[in-house]
Amino acid sequence: MTASTSPKPAPSSAELRIGGLVRLSTCDWPGELVATVFCQGCPWQCGYCHNPHLLPARGPDQLAWQDVFAFLETRRGLLDGVVFSGGEPTLQSDLPLAIAAVRSLGFRIGLHTAGPYPERLARVLPLLDWIGFDVKAPFAEYDRITGVAGSGDGARASLALVLGSGVSCDLRTTVHPDLLDASALERLSADLGSLGAERTRVQPFRSVAS
């Protein structure tokens, strides 16, 4: 019997709910040419969510993960990486399997997350090359943004994990004029400073056309 290398993770072993796919993006991972996989479902209910159709755990127009993976196989050598976005990707327990399968194709991996699940984020951190982390508000004030009690505690723990991991990250905060004023941004800056983060990139709220 000849020695063999370990088989790459089979895409069929992952059951990922996919709400959308952008086949070519230059903005979802700054400086990289990527495909973006939008995972279905989010535990939070932010009123200004840019992708409200991805909030429910299941959507009417879901894509099969096997089909998405088959497309990514055809993009080897053409794209720099793949970004898992959402929704909230870490909501899905099979995210590590899906990331490992895509990574086995030779892609670098990016993740968009708001950090609601620190333990799940810790499991995928070793598989990531970049993280886009959404910081919603001062951590003590998350509840009024997300609609979920205690959500700031998970976000703070997740951000601490990211900052301590050495994985490249981009922190960004969406500013809704009715939810975050100048004093709230000052409190947020203090929260980030306590974790060793220098700054967050502020982006203005953009309404979603109905």
| pLDDT one-digit tens code per residue, 154-202 | 999 999 999 999 999 999 999 888 888 899 999 999 999 999 997 787 7
What 8-state DSSP symbol labels residue 63?
B
CATH topology of domain 13-201: TIM Barrel (3.20.20)
Residue 150 zone, left/alpha/beta (φ > 0; ψ -120 to 50; rest): left
- C-alpha torsion sign, points 157, 162, 163, 169: negative
Q: Which of 51-65, 78-92, 141-155 has the lowest mean pLDDT?
A: 51-65
Q: How confident is the model at residue 10 (pLDDT cuts 50, 70, 90)?
A: low
76 class by beta-carbon count within 10 Å (0-12 exposed, 13-18 middle, 19+ buried): exposed
The Cα–Cα gap between 115 and 119 comes to 10
Q: How confident is the model at residue 59 (pLDDT cuts 50, 70, 90)?
A: confident
pLDDT of residue 179: 85
pLDDT exceeding 90 applies to what percent of the chain? Answer: 77
pLDDT of residue 60: 79
